[in-house]
């Protein structure tokens, strides 16, 4: 099986404590249901540093990534079936499945 980096794109975490707690509970419920294929649950990304030809800047790279997870599956379609009910998508975000290099 291969490991796939899944990056989160779209709206960030809500700002009020009740909504933040609800989003965290939804993620933990999803992660618990997912089990072993969720190799690394990852973390939200609150800020970024980007190395550019002009040096290090405190800014996101092109097309910001707002979080990530690592999923182990036989194919990208297998990853899609694992993440199809991810709560981040129901909040309006999208999840990018990054394929490993290879044939």
Q: pLDDT > 70: what percent of the chain?
A: 83
DSSP 30-69: HHHHH-TTEEEEEEE-----EEETTEEESS--SS---EEE
The residues that bridge with 73 in the sheet, in sequence order, are: 2
CATH number of the domain at 31, please: 3.30.70.1060
84 in a structural domain: yes
Phi-psi region of 29 (alpha: psi -120 to 50; beta: other; left: phi over 0): alpha
For residue range 40-67, list pLDDT tens digits in order.
Answer: 998 877 666 566 667 767 765 566 788 8
46 in a structural domain: yes
17 in a structural domain: yes
44 in a structural domain: yes
Q: Strand order of the sheet with strand 38-44?
A: 38-44, 67-73, 2-9, 94-98
22 in a structural domain: yes
CB 71 within 8 A of CB 38: yes
Kindly report the average pLDDT of the chain as a whole number: 84
Number of domains in the chain: 1
103 in a structural domain: no
* pTM of the model as a whole: 0.75
Could you list the residue range(s) of the whole structural domain that residue 42 is in?
A: 2-98
Predicted local distance difference test score (pLDDT) of residue 11: 74
Predicted local distance difference test score (pLDDT) of residue 60: 58
Predicted local distance difference test score (pLDDT) of residue 43: 81
Q: Is the pLDDT of residue 28 over 70?
A: yes
Predicted local distance difference test score (pLDDT) of residue 17: 92
Q: How far apart are CA 29 and CA 34, in angstroms?
A: 9
């Amino acid at each position: 099986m291969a490991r796939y980096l899944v990056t989160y794109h779209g709206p960030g975490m809500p700002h009020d404590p009740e909504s933040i707690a609800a989003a965290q509970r939804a993620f933990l419920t999803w992660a618990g249901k997912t089990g072993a294929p969720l190799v690394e649950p990852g973390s939200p990304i609150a800020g970024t540093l980007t190395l550019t030809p002009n040096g290090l800047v405190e800014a996101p790279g092109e097309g910001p990534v707002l979080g990530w997870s690592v999923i182990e599956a036989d194919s990208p379609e297998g990853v899609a079936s694992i993440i199809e009910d991810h709560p981040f998508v129901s909040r309006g975000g999208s999840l990018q499945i990054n394929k490993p290099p290879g044939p």
